[in-house]
Amino acid sequence: MQKKIIIVLIVFISLVFRLLGSTLNGQEVNYLTGRPYRQESEVTGPERERYIVLARSWASKLWTTNEAYKGYFKQDYRPAWIPLPGFWTNAFVKARTWVTRNATDRMDSQERIEVEFRFDLSIKRQWERCKFEFLDDKSGRLIAVRNYFYQDPNVPYTYGVWKPLRTDGVEARRKAAEYAAMFGVSNLWDNTKFDLCSSSFDGVWIINMQARANGYPAIFPVCIKMADLPGYPLGEWYNSTCLIPTNLPTKVMLTAEDGRKKGTEYLNKYFPLKDLIPNITFVTNRLEYRMPNYNYIRPADVSGFSDPQTIPIGKYHLVWVNTFMKPKREGYYPFIQIYLDAATGEMLGGDD
Protein backbone atom coordinates (compact mmCIF):
# COMPACT_ATOMS: atom_id res chain seq x y z
CA MET A 1 0.00 0.00 0.00
CA GLN A 2 2.82 2.38 0.90
CA LYS A 3 4.39 1.81 -2.51
CA LYS A 4 1.10 2.72 -4.21
CA ILE A 5 0.78 5.87 -2.10
CA ILE A 6 4.34 6.93 -2.98
CA ILE A 7 3.65 6.41 -6.70
CA VAL A 8 0.43 8.42 -6.48
CA LEU A 9 2.26 11.25 -4.68
CA ILE A 10 5.00 11.35 -7.31
CA VAL A 11 2.40 11.53 -10.11
CA PHE A 12 0.45 14.22 -8.23
CA ILE A 13 3.53 16.38 -7.60
CA SER A 14 4.62 16.15 -11.23
CA LEU A 15 1.13 17.15 -12.38
CA VAL A 16 1.11 20.12 -10.01
CA PHE A 17 4.40 21.40 -11.41
CA ARG A 18 3.08 20.99 -14.95
CA LEU A 19 -0.10 22.82 -13.95
CA LEU A 20 1.63 25.79 -12.36
CA GLY A 21 3.53 26.82 -15.40
CA SER A 22 5.15 26.04 -18.70
CA THR A 23 7.97 27.94 -20.36
CA LEU A 24 8.09 30.47 -23.13
CA ASN A 25 11.55 31.36 -24.47
CA GLY A 26 13.01 30.06 -21.23
CA GLN A 27 10.58 32.02 -19.01
CA GLU A 28 7.98 30.37 -16.80
CA VAL A 29 4.49 31.08 -18.11
CA ASN A 30 1.22 31.37 -16.21
CA TYR A 31 -0.92 28.73 -17.96
CA LEU A 32 -4.14 30.62 -17.17
CA THR A 33 -3.09 34.00 -18.59
CA GLY A 34 -0.53 32.83 -21.15
CA ARG A 35 1.91 35.51 -19.94
CA PRO A 36 5.28 35.06 -18.24
CA TYR A 37 5.31 35.34 -14.46
CA ARG A 38 6.95 38.43 -13.06
CA GLN A 39 10.15 37.46 -11.35
CA GLU A 40 10.58 37.89 -7.61
CA SER A 41 12.32 41.18 -6.89
CA GLU A 42 13.48 43.21 -3.92
CA VAL A 43 11.35 46.18 -2.91
CA THR A 44 13.37 49.31 -2.11
CA GLY A 45 13.00 52.93 -1.08
CA PRO A 46 9.79 54.47 0.31
CA GLU A 47 7.70 51.51 -0.85
CA ARG A 48 9.82 49.18 1.26
CA GLU A 49 9.53 51.40 4.33
CA ARG A 50 5.76 51.66 3.90
CA TYR A 51 5.26 47.90 3.99
CA ILE A 52 7.62 47.45 6.94
CA VAL A 53 5.60 50.01 8.90
CA LEU A 54 2.36 48.23 7.95
CA ALA A 55 3.75 44.85 9.00
CA ARG A 56 5.06 46.14 12.33
CA SER A 57 1.72 47.79 13.02
CA TRP A 58 -0.04 44.45 12.56
CA ALA A 59 2.58 42.71 14.71
CA SER A 60 1.92 45.09 17.60
CA LYS A 61 -1.79 44.19 17.46
CA LEU A 62 -1.29 40.44 17.15
CA TRP A 63 1.47 39.71 19.66
CA THR A 64 1.12 42.17 22.53
CA THR A 65 2.05 39.73 25.31
CA ASN A 66 5.62 39.01 26.36
CA GLU A 67 4.61 35.57 27.60
CA ALA A 68 6.55 33.67 24.95
CA TYR A 69 7.99 30.18 25.27
CA LYS A 70 10.15 27.81 23.32
CA GLY A 71 9.22 24.17 23.86
CA TYR A 72 11.55 21.21 24.26
CA PHE A 73 11.70 17.70 25.77
CA LYS A 74 13.44 16.86 29.02
CA GLN A 75 15.63 13.76 29.23
CA ASP A 76 12.66 11.78 30.54
CA TYR A 77 10.63 12.98 27.54
CA ARG A 78 8.35 15.22 29.58
CA PRO A 79 7.46 18.49 27.82
CA ALA A 80 8.99 21.71 29.14
CA TRP A 81 9.41 25.31 28.04
CA ILE A 82 12.13 27.92 28.00
CA PRO A 83 10.57 31.28 28.93
CA LEU A 84 11.57 34.15 26.68
CA PRO A 85 10.82 37.25 28.81
CA GLY A 86 10.27 40.43 26.87
CA PHE A 87 10.67 38.56 23.60
CA TRP A 88 8.16 40.51 21.52
CA THR A 89 8.96 43.95 23.00
CA ASN A 90 11.71 44.77 20.50
CA ALA A 91 11.59 41.68 18.30
CA PHE A 92 10.36 43.38 15.13
CA VAL A 93 12.71 46.34 15.57
CA LYS A 94 15.79 44.15 15.99
CA ALA A 95 14.81 41.54 13.40
CA ARG A 96 16.52 41.14 10.05
CA THR A 97 13.98 42.26 7.45
CA TRP A 98 13.34 41.41 3.80
CA VAL A 99 10.70 42.95 1.53
CA THR A 100 10.06 41.25 -1.81
CA ARG A 101 7.55 41.32 -4.62
CA ASN A 102 6.28 37.85 -5.49
CA ALA A 103 4.19 36.71 -8.42
CA THR A 104 3.96 32.98 -8.00
CA ASP A 105 0.20 32.48 -7.84
CA ARG A 106 -2.16 31.73 -10.67
CA MET A 107 -3.48 35.21 -11.41
CA ASP A 108 -2.06 38.70 -11.65
CA SER A 109 -4.55 39.81 -8.98
CA GLN A 110 -2.85 37.46 -6.53
CA GLU A 111 0.63 39.03 -6.75
CA ARG A 112 2.05 39.87 -3.35
CA ILE A 113 4.34 42.16 -1.41
CA GLU A 114 5.95 39.98 1.26
CA VAL A 115 7.61 41.29 4.42
CA GLU A 116 9.70 38.75 6.31
CA PHE A 117 11.23 39.23 9.76
CA ARG A 118 13.85 36.85 11.17
CA PHE A 119 14.56 36.62 14.90
CA ASP A 120 17.64 35.22 16.60
CA LEU A 121 16.36 33.24 19.60
CA SER A 122 19.91 32.63 20.86
CA ILE A 123 18.87 29.01 21.51
CA LYS A 124 21.35 26.76 19.73
CA ARG A 125 21.68 29.45 17.03
CA GLN A 126 18.04 29.00 16.14
CA TRP A 127 16.21 31.48 13.93
CA GLU A 128 12.48 32.03 13.70
CA ARG A 129 10.58 33.76 10.92
CA CYS A 130 7.42 35.81 10.60
CA LYS A 131 5.89 36.79 7.26
CA PHE A 132 3.22 39.26 6.21
CA GLU A 133 1.75 39.13 2.69
CA PHE A 134 -0.02 42.16 1.21
CA LEU A 135 -1.89 42.39 -2.08
CA ASP A 136 0.30 44.15 -4.62
CA ASP A 137 -2.34 46.70 -5.58
CA LYS A 138 -1.19 49.68 -3.46
CA SER A 139 -4.11 49.13 -1.07
CA GLY A 140 -1.97 47.79 1.78
CA ARG A 141 -4.52 45.00 2.20
CA LEU A 142 -3.16 42.15 4.33
CA ILE A 143 -3.99 38.71 2.96
CA ALA A 144 -1.76 36.35 4.96
CA VAL A 145 0.30 36.11 8.14
CA ARG A 146 2.66 33.27 9.00
CA ASN A 147 4.44 33.38 12.35
CA TYR A 148 6.54 30.23 12.30
CA PHE A 149 7.25 30.60 16.01
CA TYR A 150 3.63 29.57 16.61
CA GLN A 151 2.58 28.01 13.32
CA ASP A 152 4.22 24.66 14.03
CA PRO A 153 3.79 23.06 17.45
CA ASN A 154 5.76 25.23 19.86
CA VAL A 155 4.77 22.91 22.70
CA PRO A 156 6.23 19.38 22.60
CA TYR A 157 3.77 16.50 22.84
CA THR A 158 4.15 12.77 23.21
CA TYR A 159 4.16 11.48 19.64
CA GLY A 160 0.67 10.44 18.58
CA VAL A 161 -1.00 11.95 21.66
CA TRP A 162 -2.12 15.34 20.44
CA LYS A 163 -4.02 16.65 23.45
CA PRO A 164 -3.98 20.36 24.26
CA LEU A 165 -2.15 21.15 27.47
CA ARG A 166 -3.16 24.77 28.07
CA THR A 167 -6.22 25.51 25.92
CA ASP A 168 -9.58 24.07 24.83
CA GLY A 169 -11.64 23.84 21.67
CA VAL A 170 -14.50 26.14 22.70
CA GLU A 171 -12.15 29.01 23.49
CA ALA A 172 -10.13 28.28 20.35
CA ARG A 173 -13.23 28.83 18.18
CA ARG A 174 -14.03 32.05 20.04
CA LYS A 175 -10.46 33.29 19.63
CA ALA A 176 -10.50 32.38 15.92
CA ALA A 177 -13.55 34.62 15.44
CA GLU A 178 -11.79 37.39 17.36
CA TYR A 179 -8.74 37.20 15.11
CA ALA A 180 -10.95 37.05 12.01
CA ALA A 181 -12.73 40.25 13.07
CA MET A 182 -9.36 41.98 13.41
CA PHE A 183 -8.69 41.10 9.77
CA GLY A 184 -12.09 42.33 8.60
CA VAL A 185 -14.05 39.04 8.65
CA SER A 186 -16.77 39.67 11.22
CA ASN A 187 -18.98 36.68 10.41
CA LEU A 188 -16.62 33.70 10.59
CA TRP A 189 -19.19 31.30 12.10
CA ASP A 190 -22.11 32.44 9.92
CA ASN A 191 -22.90 29.29 7.92
CA THR A 192 -24.52 31.35 5.18
CA LYS A 193 -21.12 32.98 4.58
CA PHE A 194 -18.64 30.18 5.34
CA ASP A 195 -18.50 26.40 5.43
CA LEU A 196 -16.33 24.73 8.06
CA CYS A 197 -14.09 22.31 6.14
CA SER A 198 -12.08 21.05 9.10
CA SER A 199 -11.27 21.86 12.70
CA SER A 200 -8.55 19.95 14.48
CA PHE A 201 -5.77 19.99 17.04
CA ASP A 202 -2.41 18.73 15.87
CA GLY A 203 -0.10 20.43 18.35
CA VAL A 204 -1.70 23.69 17.18
CA TRP A 205 -5.36 24.55 16.66
CA ILE A 206 -6.17 24.44 12.94
CA ILE A 207 -9.42 25.78 11.49
CA ASN A 208 -10.06 25.70 7.73
CA MET A 209 -13.07 27.48 6.27
CA GLN A 210 -14.40 27.94 2.74
CA ALA A 211 -16.24 31.09 1.72
CA ARG A 212 -19.62 31.15 0.00
CA ALA A 213 -20.41 33.45 -2.91
CA ASN A 214 -24.00 34.21 -3.93
CA GLY A 215 -24.97 31.54 -1.42
CA TYR A 216 -22.88 28.79 -3.06
CA PRO A 217 -19.65 27.21 -1.78
CA ALA A 218 -16.60 28.66 -3.53
CA ILE A 219 -12.95 27.66 -3.47
CA PHE A 220 -11.77 30.70 -1.53
CA PRO A 221 -10.31 29.54 1.80
CA VAL A 222 -10.02 31.24 5.15
CA CYS A 223 -7.52 29.43 7.37
CA ILE A 224 -6.16 29.99 10.87
CA LYS A 225 -3.64 28.32 13.21
CA MET A 226 -3.19 29.13 16.90
CA ALA A 227 -0.70 27.80 19.42
CA ASP A 228 -1.59 25.85 22.55
CA LEU A 229 -0.28 28.63 24.78
CA PRO A 230 -1.86 31.37 26.93
CA GLY A 231 -3.83 33.78 24.77
CA TYR A 232 -3.89 31.41 21.75
CA PRO A 233 -1.08 33.29 19.93
CA LEU A 234 -1.58 33.41 16.18
CA GLY A 235 0.52 31.11 14.02
CA GLU A 236 -1.12 31.59 10.64
CA TRP A 237 -3.92 33.51 8.95
CA TYR A 238 -4.94 33.35 5.31
CA ASN A 239 -7.97 35.10 3.81
CA SER A 240 -8.74 34.90 0.10
CA THR A 241 -12.25 36.38 0.20
CA CYS A 242 -11.03 39.65 -1.29
CA LEU A 243 -10.14 37.68 -4.43
CA ILE A 244 -13.73 36.56 -5.10
CA PRO A 245 -14.71 37.97 -8.53
CA THR A 246 -17.64 40.37 -8.61
CA ASN A 247 -19.01 38.95 -11.87
CA LEU A 248 -19.54 35.31 -10.94
CA PRO A 249 -22.26 33.56 -13.00
CA THR A 250 -25.56 32.77 -11.27
CA LYS A 251 -27.68 31.09 -13.97
CA VAL A 252 -28.86 27.55 -13.14
CA MET A 253 -30.72 25.73 -15.92
CA LEU A 254 -30.21 22.15 -14.72
CA THR A 255 -31.98 20.67 -11.71
CA ALA A 256 -30.15 18.46 -9.24
CA GLU A 257 -31.65 15.43 -10.98
CA ASP A 258 -30.49 16.72 -14.38
CA GLY A 259 -27.05 17.17 -12.90
CA ARG A 260 -27.03 13.64 -11.52
CA LYS A 261 -28.11 12.10 -14.84
CA LYS A 262 -25.61 14.03 -16.93
CA GLY A 263 -22.86 13.46 -14.39
CA THR A 264 -23.51 9.72 -14.55
CA GLU A 265 -23.44 9.81 -18.35
CA TYR A 266 -20.10 11.62 -18.35
CA LEU A 267 -18.69 9.24 -15.74
CA ASN A 268 -19.61 6.22 -17.86
CA LYS A 269 -18.17 7.82 -20.99
CA TYR A 270 -14.94 9.38 -19.73
CA PHE A 271 -13.79 7.90 -16.43
CA PRO A 272 -10.58 5.99 -17.29
CA LEU A 273 -10.91 3.06 -14.85
CA LYS A 274 -13.61 1.29 -16.84
CA ASP A 275 -13.48 -1.88 -14.75
CA LEU A 276 -14.71 0.07 -11.71
CA ILE A 277 -17.69 1.74 -13.36
CA PRO A 278 -20.27 -1.05 -12.78
CA ASN A 279 -19.61 -0.79 -9.03
CA ILE A 280 -19.49 3.00 -8.74
CA THR A 281 -22.48 4.50 -6.93
CA PHE A 282 -23.87 8.06 -6.88
CA VAL A 283 -23.69 9.76 -3.45
CA THR A 284 -24.89 13.36 -3.79
CA ASN A 285 -24.47 16.59 -5.73
CA ARG A 286 -24.51 20.31 -5.01
CA LEU A 287 -23.91 23.65 -6.70
CA GLU A 288 -20.44 25.17 -6.24
CA TYR A 289 -18.13 27.64 -7.92
CA ARG A 290 -15.22 25.87 -9.60
CA MET A 291 -12.59 26.60 -12.20
CA PRO A 292 -12.60 23.93 -14.95
CA ASN A 293 -9.73 21.45 -14.94
CA TYR A 294 -10.99 19.34 -17.88
CA ASN A 295 -9.79 16.10 -16.30
CA TYR A 296 -11.02 12.94 -18.08
CA ILE A 297 -12.28 14.81 -21.15
CA ARG A 298 -8.84 16.11 -22.20
CA PRO A 299 -6.51 13.53 -20.69
CA ALA A 300 -2.76 13.91 -21.08
CA ASP A 301 -2.20 10.20 -20.43
CA VAL A 302 -3.95 7.09 -19.14
CA SER A 303 -4.38 8.69 -15.69
CA GLY A 304 -7.26 10.76 -17.04
CA PHE A 305 -5.75 14.04 -15.79
CA SER A 306 -5.78 16.86 -18.31
CA ASP A 307 -2.83 18.40 -20.07
CA PRO A 308 -2.40 21.97 -18.72
CA GLN A 309 -1.45 23.11 -22.22
CA THR A 310 -5.03 22.41 -23.37
CA ILE A 311 -6.77 24.34 -20.57
CA PRO A 312 -8.13 27.76 -21.65
CA ILE A 313 -7.54 30.89 -19.62
CA GLY A 314 -9.47 30.15 -16.47
CA LYS A 315 -12.66 31.65 -15.12
CA TYR A 316 -15.07 30.44 -12.48
CA HIS A 317 -18.23 28.54 -13.40
CA LEU A 318 -21.23 27.65 -11.30
CA VAL A 319 -21.21 23.86 -11.51
CA TRP A 320 -23.01 20.79 -10.31
CA VAL A 321 -20.42 18.80 -8.38
CA ASN A 322 -21.55 15.17 -8.58
CA THR A 323 -19.94 12.90 -6.00
CA PHE A 324 -19.67 9.15 -6.63
CA MET A 325 -18.19 6.39 -4.47
CA LYS A 326 -15.74 3.85 -5.83
CA PRO A 327 -15.67 0.26 -4.60
CA LYS A 328 -13.31 -0.09 -1.65
CA ARG A 329 -9.72 -0.57 -2.70
CA GLU A 330 -6.84 -0.28 -0.26
CA GLY A 331 -4.66 2.80 -0.78
CA TYR A 332 -7.09 4.66 -3.07
CA TYR A 333 -9.25 7.72 -2.44
CA PRO A 334 -12.86 6.45 -2.26
CA PHE A 335 -14.67 9.28 -4.08
CA ILE A 336 -14.96 10.61 -7.62
CA GLN A 337 -16.29 14.06 -8.47
CA ILE A 338 -17.63 15.02 -11.89
CA TYR A 339 -18.18 18.73 -12.65
CA LEU A 340 -20.67 20.10 -15.14
CA ASP A 341 -21.77 23.62 -15.93
CA ALA A 342 -25.07 24.42 -14.19
CA ALA A 343 -26.28 26.54 -17.10
CA THR A 344 -25.19 24.50 -20.12
CA GLY A 345 -24.63 20.96 -18.82
CA GLU A 346 -21.12 20.92 -20.36
CA MET A 347 -18.65 18.66 -18.57
CA LEU A 348 -15.84 20.73 -17.05
CA GLY A 349 -13.71 17.99 -15.53
CA GLY A 350 -13.48 16.23 -12.22
CA ASP A 351 -11.26 14.65 -9.60
CA ASP A 352 -10.72 11.34 -7.87
Q: List, for residues 232-273, the tens digit of each pLDDT value.
A: 999 999 999 988 999 999 999 999 999 999 999 999 999 988
Pair 200, 337 in one domain: no
> Does some domain include residue 180?
yes
Q: Are residues 223 and 271 in the same domain?
A: no
Residue 11 lies in a domain: no
Query: Is 340 among the domain residues?
Result: yes
pLDDT per position as a tens digit, 25-58:
455 555 545 555 566 788 889 999 999 999 999 9
Note whether 255 and 212 are same-domain residues.
no
Looking at the fold, whether 279 and 158 belong to one and the same domain comes out as no
Q: Which of 243, 261, 289 is the last residue of a domain?
A: 243
Q: For residue 7, is it within any domain?
A: no
pLDDT, tens digit, for every residue of 210-232?
Answer: 999 999 999 899 999 998 888 89
- Asked, for residue 4, whether it belongs to a domain, the answer is no
Do residues 116 and 147 both lie within one domain?
A: yes
Q: Which of 218, 243, 268 is at the close of a domain?
A: 243
Query: Does residue 20 form part of some domain?
Result: no
CATH number reported for the structural domain that contains residue 257 in this entry? 3.10.450
Secondary structure, 3-state, the chain: CHHHHHHHHHHHHHHHHHHHCEEECCEEECCCCCCECCCCEECCHHHHHHHHHHHHHHHHHHCCCCCCEEEEECCCCCEEEEECCCCCCCHHHHCEEEEEEECCCCCHHHCEEEEEEEEECCCCCCEEEEEEEEECCCCCCEEEEEEHHHHCCCCCCCCCCCCCCCCCHHHHHHHHHHHHHHCCCCCCCCCCCEEEEEEEECCEEEEEEEEEECCEEEEEEEEEEEECCCCCCEEEEEECHHHCCCCCCCCCCCCHHHHHHHHHHHHHHHCCCHHHHHHCEEEEEEEEEECCCCCCCCECCCCCCECHHHCCCCCCEEEEEEEEECCCCCCCCCEEEEEEECCCCCEEEEEC
Range of the domain at 310: 250-351
296 & 198 share domain: no
Domain count, the chain: 2
